[in-house]
Structure 1
Amino acid sequence: MTIHYSPLKCTGCAQEFAFPTIARSYTDLPEAGGSGGAHFSEMLLLPVWCHACEGASWGERIPGAREFDTAAGLRRMPGRIACEGIVDDLLEIEEADFRWLYEHLSRRKAPPRCVVCASTRFTPIDFGRRDTSVVHEACWGSPIEFRGFSIGGGGLHIGARSYARLFHDAEGDVAWAALCRQALSTGRLNAVLHATRQDRDHATLTGAIHLIIQPATDAALAVLAPLVAANSPAALGVLGALHYLGEGVTHSGLEAAALLEKAKALGDACAAHNLASLYATGAPGVAKDIAHARQLFGEARAMGGQYERDDFYAQDDFAVANNTFYHPI
């Protein structure tokens, strides 16, 4: 059974608008922590109509100080008796997430954004009302209505597929992305895509990463090519990550290892993390080596490349801890 998230419909042209499938979190920037302490918190979301995307989307929900204080009081009550019948995501999240959000969002300077395009121009959608108060500008301003969520049958996905989880900083900017490649033949692999803000090519690299996520890998490779030729550490690392995943390029552990080693030697902490992941799972031409992976994860963290919670690095088998595996065809 699959829920199809396409509940918005134009009353003029009958076009339907689906809410995007997303996985988003807040995090401390890796370069801000480096040797430990990075935290990952669930992002609170609102269903919205984004006027920049011109479609259904999700916007950040940034509670006000009074909302935080009220929720904090309710969360402290024994057995949460007073919370019965109250629907509020601030009461549902874990305590560590609540504390992080309380600390960071209560002093947030930037306005909430659409998590797809980062626009601040959106209108919240109330799932309890048919009238959304938004119009379809491409259809001469016809009203758009909420029609409810339809339920239909799902199917088996054959072949390989990729999806990304984006991590945002406290101000709502994308900090980095984790790209997953999953195939029935080879298993599931994860790699991190990150361009630090200190990198002189940050804007170009960020654009390439967004193209990879869309996905528009060919266009991303064209953007990366001159940076790779110039031995940009981050660009070499991103290309190595793509070879590790087999995303738009040859699925080759040997190619990945060569590029990631070079990027790591040039100081790219993200490449060091991905190189550790490569040895944690193995890939075509590269055997799994947990001892080497553990050493590399330690080096990556020392360089400022922490992309997992602290307890991840204490695992005996990183592939199992990260729900990641690779098996040769």
Structure 2
Amino acid sequence: MTIHYNPMKCTGCAQEFAFPSIGRSYTDLPEAGGRHAAHFSAMLLQQAWCHECEGASWVERIPGEREFATAAGLRRRADRSGYEGIDDDLLEIEDDDFRWLYEHLPHRKAPPRCLVCASTHFTPIDATQRQTPIVHEACWDSPIEFRGFSIGSGGLQTGGRSYAHRFYDAEGDVVWAKLCMQEFLVGRLIVILHARRHDPAHATLAAAIDLVINRASDDALAVLAPLAAANNPAALGLLGALHYVGEGVAHSGTEAVSLLEKAKALGDACAAHNLASLYATGAAGVAKDIARARQLFAEARAMGGQYERDDFYAHDNFTVANRTFYHPI
């Protein structure tokens, strides 16, 4: 059997279309502000052809009430072996995730959207069928076929580049993102990118975050510059976060601390969380300080900046809890 890394293929010109790498979850944080018993839930995905992206993409799969009720009945069975072999993602997720989705998604008002561009203009793809209703307009409307997924084709990108995991609310809106910078033999550093909706500059900040996630850091910096010059706390915090991981700017712990401290003093809870992460791992020019990290994480939570499950904050060594580390070269 042939494993295809680019499962969509035009039957006319033979152009292949790969599904984007993704990292997506639902959360009930942090717009409510640092609540206890934080919950993060898996997002059910449906492969689709996005007509705005003009390519293969992913959309949220939002099951109907009947689907949820059927799955709930099967999951309540003491012997779950009875549904082995049934291909249903509602039967495969963790119990806590299922309960959260069952509570929130049946009441969803917003339609599912492309998880790359947020468009609602897409055509779902049936993974059990080779033929699709999609045509390649650039190739005289030749049919595009679905040839199957590859092993690992839906994974996150790693290596010497950054990748992001986005977190959505129950209505499918992005609330914040986790940016990870990984370098071989150096380590992995993680920061939170968050533009709170009550910020007067929310639209601009959200656009800058989207540019960072889509690897257009130079454009993001140009967007953030006037806001940072005006001492917008979130903009200062975002710049500090980028210096911490070295995304688009110099990898400088000292510059990151300066910006994050200033943003924190101006009330940015996300900056406080990222400052705690910096001291938990250390950074270029800044030594690891777990005691300081523990203090800052507590301050961040008090400010409404909780971005991890409760048990994360119970660890004595946050670098282990967050699986991040930094080794200066």
Deviation sequence 1:23-73 (CA, Å, 0-9, x none): 100011313141423210000001111111110001100000011111111
Q: How does 1:158-197 map to 2 (within 5 A)?
A: 160-197=160-197
Q: CA–CA distance in 1 between the matches of 2:138 and 2:303? A: 49
Number of the residue aligned with 2:13: 13
TM-score using structure 2 length: 0.95
Return closer, same or farther for 1:201/1:321 CA change in 2, 3 Å cut-off.
Answer: same
> Where in structure 2 are there 5+ consecutive unaligned residues?
none
Residue identity in the other structure for 2:211:
L
Q: CA deviation at 1:262?
A: 0.3
Who is 1:225 aligned against? 225
**In the TM superposition, what whole-angstrom CA distance separates every residue of 1:93-119 from its partner, at most 9, and x where no partner exists?**
111100110111011000111111111
Alignment of 1:103-252 (within 5 A): 103-149=103-149, 160-252=160-252
Q: Pick closer, same or farther for the CA change 1:175–1:28 going to 2, 3 Å.
A: same
For this pair of structures, how many residues does the alignment match? Answer: 323
Q: Is residue 36 of structure 1 aligned with residue 33 of structure 2?
A: no
- CA contact 1:52–1:121 (8 Å) conserved in 2: yes
CA shift for structure 1 position 158: 10
1:89 matched to 2:89? The reply is: yes
SS at 2:285 equivalent: coil
2:120 counterpart letter in structure 1:
T
* 1:49 is the counterpart of 2:49: yes
Aligned residue in 1 for 2:27: 27
The 3 A distance-change label for structure 1 pair 122 and 221 is: same
1:222-251 Cα shifts (integer Å, max 9, x gaps): 010000100000000000000000111111
Q: Where does the alignment leave 5 or more consecutive residues of structure 1 unmatched?
A: none
**Post-superposition shift, 1:160?**
2.3
- Tell me the distance in 1 between the aligned counterparts of 2:131 and 2:140: 17
Change (3 A) 1:4 1:316: farther
Post-superposition Cα deviations, 1:191-242, rounded to whole Å, max 9, x if no partner, equal: 0000000000000001000110110101100010000100000000000000
* CA deviation vs aligned residue, 1:285-305 (integer Å, no higher than 9, x gap): 111111110111111111111
Map of 2:292 onto structure 1 = 292
Indicate the larger mover: 26-35 or 53-62. 26-35
Provide the alpha-carbon RMSD of the alignment. Answer: 1.6
1:4, distance to aligned residue in structure 2 (A): 5.5
Residue 258 of structure 1 deviates from its aligned partner by 0.5
Confirm whether residue 328 of structure 1 aligns to residue 328 of structure 2. yes
Q: How many percent of aligned residue pairs carry the same amino acid?
A: 76
Partner Cα separation in structure 2 for residue 148 and residue 26 of structure 1:
27
Question: What code does the residue aligned with 1:171 have?
Answer: E
Shift of 1:150: 5.5
SS at match of 1:160: coil
Q: TM-score, normalised on structure 1? A: 0.95
Q: Report the CA distance between 1:316 and its aligned residue.
A: 1.0
Rate the CA distance shift 1:327–1:175 in 2: closer, same or farther, 3 A. same
Letter in 2 for 1:289: D
SS at match of 1:112: coil
Q: Which secondary structure state, in structure 2, belongs to the residue aligned with residue 170 of structure 1? A: coil
